[in-house]
Amino acid sequence: MATFAVNATARAIPHGSVTGNDTSSRLLLSPSSSSISFVSSRSPTSFLGLRLAEPLAAKVPALCRRSHASGLRVVASASASDRPTVLVAEKLGEAGLALLREFANVECSYKLTPEELRAKVAHCDALIVRSGTKVTRKVFEESKGRLKVVGRAGVGIDNVDLQAATEYGCLVVNAPTANTIAAAEHGIALLAAMARNVAQADASMKSGKWQRNKYVGVSMVGKTLAIMGFGKVGSEVARRAKGLGMHVIAHDPYAPADKARAVGVELVSFDEAISNADFISLHMPLTPDTSKLFNDETFSKMKKGVRIINVARGGVIDEDALVRALDNGTVAQAALDVFATEPPPEDHKLVMHENVTATPHLGASTVEAQEGVAVEIAEAVIGALRGELASTAVNAPMVPSEVVISELSPYVTLAEKLGRIAVQLVSGGSGIQAVKVVYSSARDPGDLDSRILRAMITKGIVEPISSVFVNIVNADYTAKQRGLRISEERIPHDSSPAAPLDSIQIHLTNVDSKFASALSKSGDIIVEGKVKDGLPHLTLVGSFSVDVSLEGNVILCRNVDQPGNIGEVGKILGEDNVNINFMSVCRNAQRKLAIMAIGVDEEPSKETLNKIGSIPSVEESVFLKL
């Protein structure tokens, strides 16, 4: 018995079945799910007077017309029963479901327990979720390799274990653009509702009171709003807040300053943003760097009586610290759409706080956004199941061993590490726009396909500052989305063409650096690396030649060239049980300035790094996590 799912809508779908001219075929009608199944006991040949030949899908439009003539409106079709199976685990817009049903068997099962989800994925080729489903390593384990794609119908992918997905060869795609406006509008809705006590006053009226004096609000016009994270949502909130007459500033270490200027917004440092703002609106992803970024220390730097809006992720705020800040009046009010644990416990102190306006993660929940997100994710999932390159892929699919480019492989590692080093040398507030990559090679220009190297440089630059996973599939898309212009240059190198490359240099133009020595005379951050004995090495920082193997993490110090420096740094690291794996010193003249590049196996503690920074002869130092 073959079953062909046909998505249909009808003003009123009757229960039961309709038998066609071919008595072996029936339409099963289900009013509850608005679905119609075409059921046949043998290979179907005709239905409703229509001759059906393989492939069935080609005949479905006509089948739909005939069904329509029979009083039903069939809007999508299906092909054969060996189609992929897509599990939709959270509510998805109808337009997206219709697209999916044209291509796959679609099972919509909401509110699954983790155990139920794990049991189902073993029979699914694709899984579609929103923020409410945790797609854990166990899910990938249980799927035993059948799950080919996870579609996140929205932006934040912090609920999907991307590392596990990658390990299990499962592509993860998201829908990054369709809910931007909805989230921005919700941010503005919360801003205005909080300023004018709308929710509190409404609750008071519903309890029979008329408290005009209690709910005097504050005006928004002329107030300073700090947008933390000037990406898609943050910039749309900025535009709208300017329309309300607010003075808008923003902090985003990685956003291009011209993008902000175009909206009339000044990019400022983190401290400047939080200490000058009357309202602070959070729009950054949840990453290890942003986790609990708003804590006792950062609240203490804010203007007394500041108001905070969070439509990003609950985890960027230390929730206990926010309760304290609300209780002591540092924060006058907060409007929160997101929580560290969702749903939060019933007696959650923030939800219950009288100065907090709370919504249950509604940022993306408009009719329009959900239809848009559903279509965006359905197209991405279908494309991925067809094996097409997905422009919204957020993780790296397993590269089959036959595709591993053994010759380029150490350069692939080098490229990513150089990208990571370069981005960590940028100081906040300056934004990265232009990246120039210079490949020095003895080979003919046509001999080097640099796409994978460029992708890995993009990965190295973007991943430490966002929740996006970059791979060969989505690197160029990601760079474009973030306004990163990556240009590549080949310079001939006079050596043996046995190796594909001599060196890779990365120039970040027009940026400030937290390690001034990384800046070249032209003001660019420059880092260069080479492969030596199969291992990536850092060979140039700014105009200083160095040589440090990039096996662990790296500390760079600029110091006065005098005896005792190496010993002192080594002693401090030793006291913290940090093992040095490589070290090089480069100086421009005797007893003047030197750059020490130290490769370390472990991550030194903050105190250890401070101790190194405060050695009198050390003028500047930076720790680079690789």
Ligand X SMILES: NC(=O)C1=CN([C@@H]2O[C@H](COP(=O)(O)OP(=O)(O)OC[C@H]3O[C@@H](n4cnc5c(N)ncnc54)[C@H](O)[C@@H]3O)[C@@H](O)[C@H]2O)C=CC1
Cis amide bond preceding 55, omega within 30: yes
Task: Collect all residues with Cβ–Cβ distance below 8 Å to 232 and sequence separation of at least 6.
Answer: 155, 176, 177, 180
- The span of 57-65, 140-148, 177-185, 410-418 binding ligand X (CB under 6 A) equals 177-185
Could you give the CA distance from residue 169 to residue 397 in angstroms, rounded to a whole number? 5
- Active-site residue, from 313, 348, 454, 482: 313
> Which residue from 410, 407, 622, 436 is spatially nearest to 529, judged by alpha carbons?
410
122 SS3 class: coil
Binding residues among 363-422 for ligand X as defined by CB under 6 A: 363-364
Between 77 and 474, name the residue whose CB sits nearer to ligand X: 474
Q: Is 453 exposed, middle or buried (0-12, 13-18, 19+ CB in 10 A)?
A: buried
Could you give the CA distance from residue 324 to residue 49 in angstroms, rounded to a whole number? 72
Between 190 and 364, name the residue whose CB sits nearer to ligand HPV: 364
The residue length of the chain stands at 626
Between 136 and 365, name the residue whose CB sits nearer to ligand HPV: 365
Task: Give the DSSP letter of residue 177.
Answer: S
152 is catalytic: no
Q: Both tokens of residue 157?
A: 């992918």
CB of 471 to ligand X, least distance (A): 17
Could you give the CA distance from residue 73 to residue 10 in angstroms, rounded to a whole number? 5
Binding residues among 163-192 for ligand HPV as defined by CB under 6 A: 179
Encoded amino acid at 117, one letter: L
- The span of 357-365, 539-547, 582-590, 594-602 binding ligand HPV (CB under 6 A) equals 357-365
Task: Collect all residues with Cβ–Cβ distance below 8 Å to 314 and sequence separation of at least 6.
Answer: 336, 338, 339, 340, 341, 342, 344
Residues forming a β-bridge with 609: none
Could you give the CA distance from residue 563 to residue 568 in angstroms, rounded to a whole number? 10
Binding residues among 594-613 for ligand HPV as defined by CB under 6 A: none
Q: Taking CB under 6 A as the rule, does residue 465 contact ligand X?
A: yes
Could you give the CA distance from residue 242 to residue 410 in angstroms, rounded to a whole number? 49
Q: Taking CB under 6 A as the rule, does residue 359 contact ligand HPV?
A: no
Q: Taking CB under 6 A as the rule, does residue 426 contact ligand X?
A: no
Q: Is 24 exposed, middle or buried (0-12, 13-18, 19+ CB in 10 A)?
A: middle
CB of 94 to ligand HPV, least distance (A): 16
Q: Taking CB under 6 A as the rule, does residue 378 contact ligand HPV?
A: no
Across the beta sheet with 105-108, what order do the strands follow? 105-108, 85-88, 126-129, 149-152, 171-174
Q: Which does 289 bind (CB under 5 to 8 A by kind): ligand HPV, ligand X, none?
A: ligand X
Cis amide bond preceding 31, omega within 30: no
Could you give the CA distance from residue 342 to residue 349 in angstroms, rounded to a whole number? 14
- Active-site residue, from 115, 116, 342, 407: 342
Q: Which does 291 bind (CB under 5 to 8 A by kind): ligand HPV, ligand X, none?
A: none
> 311, 377, 394, 626: which one contacts ligand X (CB under 6 A)?
311
CB of 163 to ligand HPV, least distance (A): 19
Q: Taking CB under 6 A as the rule, does residue 433 contact ligand HPV?
A: no
Q: Which does 311 bind (CB under 5 to 8 A by kind): ligand HPV, ligand X, none?
A: ligand X
Residue nearest to ligand X (CB): 231
- The span of 142-150, 251-259, 564-572, 594-602 binding ligand X (CB under 6 A) equals 251-259
CB of 181 to ligand HPV, least distance (A): 12
Between 268 and 396, name the residue whose CB sits nearer to ligand X: 268
Number of neighbours of residue 230 by Cβ within 10 angstroms:
28
520-529 — which CB contacts under 8 Å span 24+ positions? 524/436, 525/422, 525/425, 525/426, 527/418, 527/421, 527/422, 527/425, 528/418, 528/503, 528/504, 529/414, 529/417, 529/418, 529/503, 529/504
Q: Taking CB under 6 A as the rule, does residue 374 contact ligand HPV?
A: no
Q: Taking CB under 6 A as the rule, does residue 474 contact ligand HPV?
A: no
Q: Taking CB under 6 A as the rule, does residue 383 contact ligand HPV?
A: no
Between 331 and 465, name the residue whose CB sits nearer to ligand X: 465
Q: Which does 132 bind (CB under 5 to 8 A by kind): ligand X, ligand HPV, none?
A: ligand HPV
Contact indicator for 172, 193 with CB cutoff of 8 Å: no
313 is catalytic: yes
Residue nearest to ligand HPV (CB): 154
> 26, 83, 101, 130: which one contacts ligand HPV (CB under 6 A)?
130
Task: Collect all residues with Cβ–Cβ distance below 8 Å to 610 and sequence separation of at least 6.
Answer: none
Between 450 and 474, name the residue whose CB sits nearer to ligand HPV: 474
Between 59 and 259, name the residue whose CB sits nearer to ligand X: 259
Between 330 and 478, name the residue whose CB sits nearer to ligand X: 478
12 SS3 class: coil
To which residue do tokens 């909805």 refer? Answer: 182
Based on DSSP, count helices (H) and strands (E) in the chain, helices before strands.
19, 29
Q: Taking CB under 6 A as the rule, does residue 295 contact ligand HPV?
A: no
Contact indicator for 434, 487 with CB cutoff of 8 Å: yes
Between 84 and 234, name the residue whose CB sits nearer to ligand X: 234
Q: Taking CB under 6 A as the rule, does residue 392 contact ligand HPV?
A: no
Q: Which residues of the shown chain bind ligand X in the complex (CB under 6 A)?
A: 155-156, 179-180, 183, 228-234, 251-255, 283-286, 289-290, 311-313, 337-338, 361, 363-364, 465-466
Q: Which residues are identified as catalytic?
A: 313, 342, 361
Q: Which residues of the shown chain bind ligand HPV in the complex (CB under 6 A)?
A: 130-132, 153-156, 179, 361, 363-365
